[in-house]
Each structure stands twice: as structure tokens, then as C-alpha cells.
Structure 1
Amino acid sequence: MSIHIPRGTQDILPGDVELWQYIEVKAKEVCRTYHYKEIRTPIFEHTELFQRGVGDTTDIVQKEMYTFTDRGDRSMTLRPEGTAGVARSFVEKKMFGNPNQPVKLYYQGPMFRYERPQSGRMRQFVQFGVEAIGSADPAIDAEVLALAMSIYEELGLTDVKLILNSLGDKESRDAHRQALIEHFKPHIQEFCADCQSRLEKNPLRILDCKKDREHPLMQSAPSILDHLNDESKAYFEKVRHLLDQLGIRYEVDPTLVRGLDYYYHTAFEIMADGEGFGAITTLCGGGRYTGLVEDLGGPSTPGIGFAFSIERLIMALKAKGLDKPSVETLDCFIVALGDEAMDKAAKLLYQLRKAGVSCDKDYLDRKMKAQFKAADRYQARYTAILGENELDQGIINVKEMETGKQKEVALTEFIDYMQEQR
């Protein structure tokens, strides 16, 4: 019986995984320059965490979570997103008591959502995210936005645009919520069942509905920007002022709604802005949240963060021909002929690797010509030839593959010589 990979998942093989590693290194390096530190949380958590942290009215909680009962009769869920787990750790590990605030964290790892698989949307996908928890200063919003844009810039992806909105504080959201209820209620039967159930619970989520996006009432829905109080307006203006100072271009879109319940004030997305990206153009999303830490048992603590799918980022890089990071070549391939030479080659490989030299040899007992072909396939910079004659003379012939130049090197000096060529 043949066993196949589960639908909505993928194998990332050598030849492809190098691009993943390249993205991860670049993203982590940007985080390092912004003084963000890595956090690693469990792949599964108690289901209640996501019900409380993400929100009962979201599609994630209602339709997409992988939930199971463990042997202790506890409900567990494979994490569908990263922020709730980070916030849980922030509370449980009492990070709010750290003298250095805000706490600046980044994470990376697999997330799980039961969605209809399509290009750029998997059931197991890898997310890279950032959270800054512990400050209500608009400057930290601008910093997080700048960090997100810097990752795309570092990868050479310039055809992106920052879309910005404010969801306001609680007072502003309550006013907007009431206006939305009054706007949609007379015609709510014309909308899908999900929208009907959300009318009273969370009418803001109606604006994020994919089924009814073309309904005329969507276009005429009350704007959150018209319901911001003075404090929320001032906050949003400060964020925009800081972005202007940093020279980061953005567009304000009052219809932008994030899919999770915990967002307040700044909300944003980074969109692909060019040809070849396909239908899914949202590359990154995030925003400021208030009440999440408190809902999970901690003190009232504001935060802001974002996350992006590496799969979707790779699609964007491929569309722009930026999916070819520099390939790590092999430093040395040892061509060994004869039993004694092969034994010696095994020892030399070990010594080279201990010295930090990447190297390999043939393990299929192939002829010299086939071994040289293998060295070419591995893109080895040097090939070292070792046979009975070389062993008798205490030497090894080192060939520079690019130029074809060959040099005899004493076996006792070979390791030092190869270190110098790196």
C-alpha cells in the first residue's frame, strides 16, 4: 500500500530548502538589528487559549482549527497562529516583570489551519512573526512596521505596499460597532449565515467576508475613521507622522479589517504590488492589540505584531525572479582510488570537517571519471586526488576546478592548506 503526503502539506527537498534557509537567515538578521529576540512556543496548546485569544467569532476558531482530545481527556489544538502562544508565554513566564520593556520577540514555525488548499494557502504552513509587548507608544508601531518592510527590502522584494488603517480604541470601536449593526441589520438576511451570526457578536467581521464582498452595503458601510475619538485620531496621526519621517510609503484603507478579535488602533497589511503574484496578494498582516494579555490572566498590557507565511513570500520572490540565493558550494571533494586511499580519505574528511572545511567523497566505489563528475555536480571548488602513488609519496594532488590548476600538497600540510583556501 502506497502512503501519500496529507493534502495541504508539502515536502521541502534539497534544492528548494536552501531558499527557505536564506529567507529565515535574512529575517532573523533584520530582527537582530532591531533588537528582537527569538521565542519558541509549543506546536499545540490548550484549545481554550485560541478560543479566548483569537476569538470565538473568527473563521479560525469556528472552522479551521485542528483540535483533538488527548489521553487525559483534555482538548488540545495545533496552533493556527503565533500571537496567542507568545502572549500566553508572556503571562505564564511573567515577562511583564522584566526591567527591559517592551519585550521584543520573534518566532518561526509551522501553523495549522484546515482550509481548502490552493496556491499560497496550505493546511500546514510556516509563519514568521514579530511581537512587541509592553508599550502603548505609537513609536513602537512605526518600529514594527519598519521592521516588516525591512525584511522584504532585505530580500530584494521592492514591489510591495504598506496598507494602513486604525481600528481605534474601545470607545471608537463600540461607536463603529453600533453604526455597523444599524447599517447591516435591515438587510442582514441577504448575507451569508456567517455574517448573520456575526451581526451582534462582532459586526466588524462582516467587512472581512469573502462571500458577500460584492454586496452594495459593503461599499457603503460606515468607516471606522469617521468614528475615531480624538485620542484615537491623535494616535493614528502620530503613527503616520513617524512613518513619514522614516520615509516609509503607505496607503490608508479604511476598509482594512484584520481577521482576529484582539486588534485595536493600528492595523496593517503588506501587499504584493506588481504583476505575476496571482490572486493572493496579501503577504503580511498585523496590528496593535489591547486586552489579549489581560484575557489570558496577565496585567493590562498593550502589544503590536505581525506575521507572514514563508510559502506566500516564496511565491512573491519567484514571481520577481528573486528565488535564486547564492548556492553554498562544496569546498573540497576527495577522489580516492584503492582501499588504502579510501581509508585515508575517510580520515582526511573528518579532519577537514573539524577544521570547518565542507567536503565529501564517493561512497559507491566509482571510477575516477565518475568521481570527478560527482565533484562537478556538487560544485566543488577543489578536488583532491589520492591514490596509491600519492600515498607512497606522502602527497595529495589538489585541483582548483574553476582554473584547472593543480598542485601537489604534502599530506601533513593538506588540512592547513585547505583552510587557507576557504
Structure 2
Amino acid sequence: MSENKKAEKIAGIKGMNDLLPDDAPLWELFENTVQSVLKSYGFQQIRTPIVESTPLFARGLGAVTDVVEKEMYSFEDSMNGDKLTLRPEGTAGVVRAAIEHNLVYDGPRRLWYTGPMFRHERPQRGRYRQFHQVGAEALGFSGPDIDAELIMMCQRLWDDLGLQNVRLELNSIGDAAERAQHRAALVTYFEQHLDILDAEAQRRLHTNPLRILDTKNPAMQEMVNGAPKLLDYLGEESLAHFEGVQKILRHNSIPFTINTRLVRGLDYYNRTVFEWVTDELGAQGTVCAGGRYDSLFGIFGGKPTPSCGFAMGIERLLELMKINGDLHKPALCDVYLVHQGDAGQVQSMVLGERLRDAGLDVVLHCATAAGAGSFKSQMKKADGSGAAYAVIIGEDEASNNTVSIKAMRADDVENNQVNVPFDTAVDYLVDQIAGVEDADHCCDDPTHIHIHH
């Protein structure tokens, strides 16, 4: 390349976003809250690969679904010809791992996962080509109690995150034989209204008629509202299971609405299905979707294992947190070290390590291409860091073996500076910062970000 020719910039891939440092604290708050809530219900984390065998998703999701037909990032491994796919969802990988490693051999398991998923969709608010999910899978449980527990766990998470205006929609899609009866009735009904069906609905009529119920086409709404209801085809066991879920939710004061049009287009789902939805995110209103999938283990060649789970979109929930919460930008550090001269720099680096040993977060001012910077410019950086205290070690402090400590968040910052011996600086700062944190904890708010040590 010619020395005078400027290198062309390479942009990120559309719909695959960078997580920038200013957004990281919000992600950390969400992830820490999720981990705490899931642990409180006995769920253990599982991590599966981002790349799986393509047949895993083709078999699990179905060859005629939009995900498999249009949205998967699939490729052939140039080394051995294997057909591979970037995972579009998490449940298939978890079930594959559970079968492969005999995870339910000695009893049911509560598992959870988090990580990136990939779908080639048109990027828009709350919908990206690389997006992130948290999911929970309860494997080996057959009763309505685990279905209700998963829903209650979501409610606890919304409460802990300070989310409002998230509502629960619930339905039962029965078992395979009941769905087959309903499906036949649906096809007959839709065939009587072929003139109203759009091209997408006509394509799905004989392959996946349930998905027609999900249509957003205004011209089809009235016709779809009159379609046969699956609840009318449920047998005694399915109805009892559904009533069991509702009973537990009522006893725990979890409000819900029964949405008879809430379905799943995949054959392995059965009985309970649910979604948490909001009106605050435009068209992308679903923030969490779940349900029972008792057939999936068998589809993947494993021993039949009743299971239930959910997945939630992290980006959508973070959008809700920004709307609902009073989120304060957290401090970058507890202490910012300002120094001048060689001796001051050396003393600052020694003190910085001692403060970190004591559990504090410390930023040391380091030189840039423009130099070390004046006291004034360093103090401006200290203020911008959000640090509670700036520790100043100039030539006078270094020669006297002292430090100057300035409280950056005090009401009277100008007159809130003390000199202490170098060897007592750590104890002084630990005591001061512990006092501030104790005061913060008296008025804890889940939507505020605190730094704990």
C-alpha cells in the first residue's frame, strides 16, 4: 500500500452491534440481576456452542419455518464439509447437550443460559441479526407447577429490574391429537376464506396453519378472529393442566390474560404457552416467550422427557429498563490518582496497588501522546471519572511522604481536602468510601447501579 494512501475503514456488519463502554454497566446490572434471580430458584448455568450442526435446527424448528427457510446463518465447513449454523435460538442446543451428556439421568434439571443468537432479519428497533437472549429450561418436570414457577420467576425478575407495563398472556395448545383435530378444523375454515388469505397465509395453509393466527395483516383480522379456538378441542388432562397453572398464578397474585390466539408454530410445543408483552417498544412487543415442549427430546433421539422453558430478548428488556428506570451512570472508579513528577508517579503506582488490594476500584492518570497533563487537566479527568475521591501526589507530597485527598462529590468540594500520611491513606479511604456505601444502601433502588466491594 502506498504510504500516502489512507487505509479504507471497515465498518461492522449491519444488525450486529458493538457493546460500547458507556452501555456496559446497564448490561452488567441486567446480567447480575438475572443470575441472582435464577440462582434463587435453583437454576444452574449451561453454556453451549454458538455453532451447531444445521440438522439440529432443521429437525427441531421444522423445515418450513421462517427461521430455517430464510433467517439462519448456515455454511459448509471448508475443512470437512460439515453443515453448520450459527444458533438462531438456545433451546435446541440445551436439549442436545442434555441428551449427549445424560444430564437428566439421575433426575430433573433446572438449567439456564445466556449469549448471542443469530438470525438474518431486517434490523429494526429491538430486532437485530446478532441479538442476545437469556433462557431457562426445566427438564424432566411434567406438572403445571414448573410452568407456573417459570412464570413467577419472570415476574420476580421484572420487579427486581424495576420494569413496569409488562403483562402476561397465557394459553394452552393441548397435546398432539388435540392439535391435529384443531388443525383440521382450521384448514377447513381457512379454505372457506381463500379470497381473504394473503400470499403468506396461503403458503402456510397446509404446512403450518397455526401461524396464520399470528398474522398482522389488518385485512385478515376479522376473519382470523372467527377461526376455531384450540381451547374448544382440549381434552380433560390438558384442561386440568391448564387450570393447575392458572390456580398457582392466582394464589401468587400474578395477573394474566388468556389469549386464545397465542400459539406456537412448532410441533414439539404442547400445553402451556405464555408471553410477556409490552406496548412501550412499538411493533416488537414480546420481551419473553415460553412454553412446554414435551416432545423435543424424542425428536432429537433422546428418551421422552417432559420439559418447559422460556427465552427473553436482552436488548428489548434493556430498552424497557431505560424507559422505566431512573438509571444513573455509575462511577468509573472509587479513587482517581493524580500525580506530578517522577517520585509522585512512583508513589501513586504503589498506592494504587494497595488500594486495589483493599477492594477499591482505582484509575491512575497515565501519560498520553500530549504528555502527563497539568494538575488542572488531571483534576478534570478525575471529576469526569465519577470517582468519590481524588488522591494527589505532587513533588511536595512525595518528599513529605504524604498524600492529599479531595472529596469530589462533597457539597463543598473546594474546602473538602485533607492531607494524610502516605501509610494511612488506604485505611482513610476505605473508611470514607464504606461510609458512603452504607448510606447508599439505606435507600437501595433496583434501577440504580451501585458498586459493591
Q: Normalising by structure 1, what TM-score?
A: 0.94
* 5+ residue gaps, structure 1: none
Give the equivalent residue in structure 1 for 2:427.
416
Q: Is the 8 A contact 1:22 1:325 kept in 2?
A: no
**Which of 48, 52, 64 is the equivalent residue of 1:41?**
48
| Aligned equivalent of 2:405, options 377, 385, 398 | 398
After TM superposition, the structure 1 stretch with the greater mean CA deviation from structure 2, 336-345 or 373-382, is: 336-345
**Structure 1 letter corresponding to 2:76:** T
User: Residue 23 of structure 1: which of 20, 30, 35 is its match?
Assistant: 30
Distance 2:145 2:329 in 1: 36
Q: 2:117 aligns with which of 111, 114, 131?
A: 111
Number of the residue aligned with 2:3: none
- The one-letter code of the counterpart of 2:220 is E
1:167: which partner in 2?
173
2:363 corresponds to which residue?
360
Q: For the Cα contact (< 8 Å) 2:330–2:386, is it kept in 1?
A: no
Q: Quick check: 1:52 aligned with 2:59?
A: yes
What does residue 140 of structure 1 align with?
A: 146
> After superposition, where does 1:213-228 map in structure 2 within 5 Å?
214=220, 216-228=222-234
Q: How far off is 1:194 after superposition? A: 4.1
Distance 1:198 1:301 in 2: 29
Post-superposition Cα deviations, 1:195-220, rounded to whole Å, max 9, x if no partner, equal 33433333212222445772543121
8 Å contact from structure 1 (residues 258, 286) kept in 2 = no
1:285 is aligned to 2:289 = yes
* 8 A contact 2:210–2:265 mirrored in 1: no
Aligned to 2:275: 269
Letter of the aligned partner of 1:388 in structure 2? E
Asked whether the equivalents of residues 134 and 312 of structure 2 are also in contact (C-alpha less than 8 Å), the reply is yes
Mapped to 2, the partners of 1:261 and 1:194 lie a distance apart of 19
Name the aligned partner's letter for residue 415 of structure 1.
V
Question: Alignment partner for residue 319 of structure 1, among 318, 323, 345?
Answer: 323
Rounded Cα–Cα distance in structure 2 between residues aligned with 1:88 and 1:248: 33
Secondary structure of 1:96's aligned partner: coil
Q: TM-score, normalised by structure 2?
A: 0.88
The structural deviation recorded for 1:75 is 0.7
Kindly report which structure 2 residues correspond to 1:7-406, keeping only aligned pairs within 5 A, or say none: 7-71=14-78, 72-99=80-107, 101=108, 103-188=109-194, 190-211=196-217, 214=220, 216-273=222-279, 276-320=280-324, 322=325, 324-325=327-328, 327-364=330-367, 365-403=372-410, 404=413, 405-406=416-417
Counterparts of 1:60 and 1:277, CA distance in 2:
22
Cα distance in 1, alignment partners of residues 87 and 303 from structure 2: 24
How big is the shift at 1:96?
Answer: 1.5
**How many angstroms does 1:367 deviate by?**
0.5
Distance 1:121 1:197, change over 3 A: same
Counterparts of 1:212 and 1:60, CA distance in 2: 23
- State how far apart, in whole Å, the 2-side matches of 1:46 and 1:257 are: 27
Moved more, 152-161 or 215-224: 215-224
Larger mean CA deviation between 396-405 and 224-233 belongs to 396-405
Q: How many residues align?
A: 417
Give the secondary structure class of the aligned counterpart of 2:16.
coil
State which drifts further: 395-404 or 76-85.
395-404
Aligned equivalents of 2:159 and 2:406: distance in 1? 39
* Distance in 1 (alpha carbons) for counterparts of 2:50 and 2:381: 40
Tell me the alpha carbon deviations over residues 329-382 of structure 1, each in whole angstroms, 9 at most, x when there is no partner: 521111111112112212222232232211112213010111111110001111
Amino acid in the other structure paired with 1:295: I
Report deviation, 1:174.
Answer: 1.4
The answer to which of 410-419 and 121-130 deviates more is 410-419
Q: 1:57 to 1:34 in 2, by over 3 A?
A: same
Q: CA deviation at 1:29?
A: 1.1
Q: For residues 137-166 of structure 1, what are the alpha-carbon distances to aligned partners after superposition, in whole Å with 9 as ceiling and x for unaligned?
A: 100000001111221111111211100000
CA distance in 2, matches of 1:328, 1:37: 31
CA RMSD of aligned residues (A): 1.8
Q: Which residue of 2 aligns with 1:407?
A: 418
> Could you tell me how far 1:9 is from its partner in structure 2?
1.6
